[in-house]
Amino acid sequence: MNLTRRTVLSRAGVAAATAIAAPFVLRWPANAAEFAYKYGTALPEGHPMVIRSKEAAAKIKEESGGKLDITLYPSSVLGQDTAMMSQAIAGALEIYGMSLDILAQKSPSAAIFGVGFAFPDYPTAWKAMDGDLGNYCRGLSDKIGLYCMDKAFDHGFREITSKAKPINTPDDLKGMKIRLPVAPLFISLFQHLGASPTPINFGEVYSALQTGLVDGQENPLILIDTAKLYEVQKYCSMTNHIWVGLHISFNNDAWKRLPADLQELCHKHFSAAALAERDDWQAMDKTEIDKMTKAGLTFVHPDTQPFQEALKKSGFYPDCKKQMGDEAWALLEKYTGALA
């Protein structure tokens, strides 16, 4: 059939009249989220934070009726930490699993939790993180464009492994070639203890230990296990020299776009996930010790007080205080006692 201009206009008029007569209904596309957010992290798929975050995201999606759909991208698939933090600040990434030592690249005082041998145990670290010191750091994050959830996830204390001898006192570190990440505060810490820091990418640590390029390294137990470093090391000294907590952080504008009920769901489920993950980490630490002991790694538990005293005498703590600022340092010492 040939469609004349008259026919087309006539049919258009009927369609318009029908649309006016019928009630107007806006329908959200089936199975489409009102808010589809990406959550990037450098952590691997099996990390407890990733596992618990996925559980929380599923509950948020379910209880929001599908309005908020959060998809996790682990293992640095969206970029390395520094790149993801920049993306999150700019708004290209809505959610980022952030360590405060990464935030310190933008706000130096955020490195306060990375001060060596400051926290003697988990209760002290969590009291500080869940209290005024943590609130201070979360405030720094907000100022640069990232809104942190109240509760941090655990990434564990860092321990020292070695081949020749266990590290029981500060003297045992003198002259030791120790692999460290490329992090100024880490390097300064071990320099003040008399060691010889050697910054090496983590993927090269095993071969560096195996060939004797370095004598030892330091990391949380889970990484010592997953990288099989116990195969080329003999001792693990539980120095607990630095503790790391991780936050789920939203781009500020992405957070503000969420209605109050969705914000409440995020706080509810991500906070519950963080608390559950802390328990996961404690259980996992014990499992790691048992597993690596059976594999031949010898664990020692040095008194950390002499390490702290050595750092006081060397000027490490006064240097940190100057770098972090008086406000951050006062909040740290509220929980740890006098350091500088």
> Phi-psi region for residue 31, left (φ > 0), alpha (ψ -120 to 50) or beta?
left
Residue 163 and residue 169: Cα distance in Å, rounded? 16
Sheet holding 298-300, edge to edge: 196-199, 177-180, 216-219, 159-162, 235-237, 298-300
pLDDT of 14 strictly over 70: no
Phi, psi of 38 (to 5 degrees): -95, 140
Sign of the dihedral through C-alpha 55, 240, 213, 211: negative
* Helix (H) or strand (E) run with residue 122 in it: helix 122-129
203-240 pLDDT, tens per residue?
899 999 999 999 999 999 988 998 999 999 999 999 99
b/e burial code for range 82-103 (CB count within 10 A of at least 16 → b) = eebbbbbbeeebbbbbbbbbbb
Element holding 179 (H helix, E strand): strand 177-180
Token output for 292? 């690596």
> Do the beta carbons of residue 332 and residue 323 sit within 8 Å?
no
| pLDDT for 58 | 98
Structure tokens at 217: 């390294």
pLDDT tens column, 227-285: 999 999 999 999 999 999 999 999 999 999 999 999 999 999 999 999 999 999 999 99
Q: Of 92, 81, 121, whose CA–CA distance to 247 is shortest?
A: 81
Confidence at residue 201, expressed as pLDDT on a 0 to 100 scale: 81
Portion of the chain with pLDDT greater than 70, in percent: 91
Of 20-34, 37-51, 229-243, the poorest mean pLDDT is in: 20-34
Q: State mean pLDDT over 39-53.
A: 93
By 3-state DSSP, what share of the chain in percent is helix, strand and coil, each rounded to 5? 50, 15, 30
pLDDT tier at 194, thresholds 50, 70, 90? very high
What gap in Å lies between CA 106 and CA 87, rounded to an integer?
13
Nearest CA to 281 out of 200, 220, 199 is that of 220
User: What confidence score (pLDDT) does residue 300 get?
Assistant: 98
* CA distances for 314 relative to 119, 126, 189, 328, 339, angstroms: 19, 28, 10, 21, 12
Rounded to an integer, the average pLDDT of 161-171 is 98
> What is the structure's pLDDT at 30?
52
- For 211-225, give the DSSP string: HTSSSEEEE-HHHHH
| Segment 68-95, tens digit of pLDDT | 999 999 988 999 888 999 999 999 999 9
In this structure, what is the dihedral angle of CA atoms 205, 206, 212, 218, given to the nearest 10 degrees?
Answer: 50
- Parallel/antiparallel/unpaired status of strands 243-251 and 95-99: antiparallel
The domains found in the chain, sorted by start residue, are 35-155+244-286 (3.40.190.170), 159-241+297-336 (3.40.190.170)
The pLDDT of 120-136, averaged and rounded, is 97
